[in-house]
Chains A and B, each alone.
Chain A
Amino acid sequence: MKTKQSQAQRMPLRQRSLCLMLAAVMTAGSLPLPALAATPATPAATATPGLPAPIPMAGDPYVFTFKQLGRNGSMNLHGVDATDSLNFDVPVSLVATGAHVTLYYTYSPALLPDLSQINVMVNDVVAGSIPLPKENSGSMQTAKVDIPAKLITEFNRLSLQFIGHYTMGCEDPLHSSLWTRVANGSTLDLQTTALPQKDDLALMPVPFFDRRDIRMLNLPFIFAGTPDNGTLEAAGSLSSWFGALAAYRGARFPVQINTLPQRGNAVLMVAGEAATTVAGVAVAAPKGPTLTVQANPNDANGKLLIVSGRNIAELKQAASALTLGGKGLAGSSVVVDKLQPLTPRQPYDAPNWLPTDRPVKLSELIDPKRLNVSGYNPGEITIPLNFPPALSSWRQDGAKLKLVYRYTPQPKSSNSSFMVSLNDGLIKADVLLPHDQLDKSLLAAIKDDALTREMNVRLPLNLAGPQSRLQLRYMYDFVKQGECQDVIIDNVRGSIDPESTIDLRGYDHFMAMPNLGVFKDAGFPFTRMADLSESAVVLPDNATPDDLSAYLTLLGRFGSATGYPATGVAVTQAAQVDKVASRDLLVLASGQNQPLLKQWADRLPAVVTGDKQRFQVADLALRVRSWLQIDDEDQAKRRARLALAFSGGEPTSYLTGFESPLDSGRSVVVLAGGDASGLQQILDAMASKDPEAETIQGSLVAVRGTTIDPLLAEENYFVGSMSPLRMLRWWLSRHVLAMFVLIAGGILMLGGLAYLTLRAKARKRLNA
């Protein structure tokens, strides 16, 4: 029996099928190994707090635990023959020179040592076999298995096969004493060496982004001086593009003024007619929108992407050429002469979001090959469902999911089932009928392919977040035949028809705001237009590189939500905010550098007095909708939170949202850092995946260090639209008084008409 439980399937986004990487993206080049080995820790390493492992260098012996490779629990191998696998990838800029696996495992004391073993396989070739002697059974063992470098390619699968037997006589192949567990702290060590890369735009986004990496992307942006707004807009579109590519692992874009990073890659943006030198790199006078790739003078394995143009428009054009027309680029430098004009985006049409105007086939959401599984308990097929934010589930039963699936019917027994879950919650389970019952059914008589079955499910969306997982699972019942007759034949299969559809038609985009939860998850409401063409970012006056970095990183987050570069974003300062009054505003502040905070103080929970922020949430807290069945416990908690917000020495950063004072129906989201590093804290909080921590939600969230405090959940305006009739019904459902007025009017009019009609009729009858 084979238990292929590919945990990589659990990854939430679809591009991430082969996402494991064992080499650093920052380190690419052809320097000799010892030189690299001598290089100190990279700046990138400090900028990736999400992952504890240091960024490995080419040639470094470095280590990934199975947990980092995506295995959240230990590997359970059970039965006479069980296999479990992990995927790991090697970036294009590296080659593996050697590897070994260190396993921490425990096995059953009941095993026969002569027959039982664990095979370590890489790409289905046995790299080593671990015997399971009786004397070590039942306690944690450590084994190191070397993997020959020649077995390792770009995309690899590391499999552990357990072969276990407990008796020489008749054997139950699924006997409970046949077990081995491998801890997810087991490690994979890889030795690599750098592979020289050409300066070729055709490789884009490599090396600036390699999808085989698993760590957060860290890509510095270099400007000649303090960048103007246009340059920042162009940089924003680039960072959001990189953010979209790196969605599964996060991205960060530090900003440096006129300096190059010591190691690794960077993007350099410069606009101007003349040739200049930025941070020691000579940039030729552009002849138009220009894209150039060249080596980082500080690091031969690093590359620089120079985006230049004679003016801002050309700079933006160059950025667009990369993000939207990248396929046609080649060579080390390209002047973009013509670019297809962009078609305007429609609201909610982000490529990553499920469309609501047509049914979507599952094959659009996941590699159709992954819809096939084999084995008695083949694990879940996880399909990422990125629901557009702001779907109104008012009076909707749920998204229509029409599944067509096939399975291997078993001869008898009907305990086998097919289960559909959404975000780990069971939605529906079907019994997989065995042969003897299938043959009797009418369906079999009519239909030739009796194995095709259909299931119609409604997925309740009111509980589903913007990033949801549809989990499909086959579970087959293994029927024991009796002593010595059990033979496990690996003929059990399950298959979901890629033509199965999920249908969101009928759902409106309509949402009560402010809602920082969807801002965090999907960048809503800014991402309503995927290119951010109805959004503006209000930067602080005299923005520091940290502020700019926060801006680029936020746009990277938006890009990861939409899958589309922010080609339409506007960047401005408080003084010019009236020019973007009709847009949704994202206001950044760190310390006291944002005049808008004073201007809109009445809408904000905190005022800046002196060098400290003072929160004024007490009166707002009273307005919290306490009538919404908030019990005492919740209120106590809330009070505690408020107390927390007031106490404490270190400056508090906060996020808040409210309706734009400049245009009704538009939103403002304020990210106010308490001090210079406050914005960074907020970004870290947004990126946090700690399941224990509070999540960002509601209308006001305070962030202090790594502590997140959702303080308020006021909803006082609405974004989006519904059909007028639906809107009317929705409005009426919240206004009983209006219902009274309507029904009074309606019945008086109908009654009056009936009165006149019947009276006329009666008169006619009596005067006949």
Chain B
Amino acid sequence: MFIKQITVFIENRAGRLEQVTQVLKENNINIVSLSLADTSDYGLLRLIVSNPDKAVTVLKESGFSAMITNVIAVKLTQHVGKLGELLSILSSAGVNVEYMYGLTTGDENASIVIKTGDQKKALDAITESSFELLSTEETYAMND
């Protein structure tokens, strides 16, 4: 199953990132995890939040370009080589990783968010493997 990630377009100007967090705070939306991809002029803020649909609505109302993308969240136990194992499953399936970032969890295990070139294929490959996917409920409620 896919997790909804929100992506926000942010120009490289002081205070823009803060405004995003402000909008989310005012609407009582918790940020579970985030990653920021940057270029010289702008950045893409990718967020996993407690209520993605609402987050996109309120961000758009506040004048941001925001969209929902389906990503995959996978549980990773804290062992050497675990991430490599997951990536080898994806590469054997012929799937290219577009981007990935960690998802902080309270317990001893970690999780990772992945966006690939072929999400359907990736999801199938991971489901067939011994790796466990995070459910939407689990993810959105994480760290709450």
Whether chain B is bound by chain A comes out as no
Listed in ascending order, the chain A residues whose CB lies under 8 Å from chain B are none
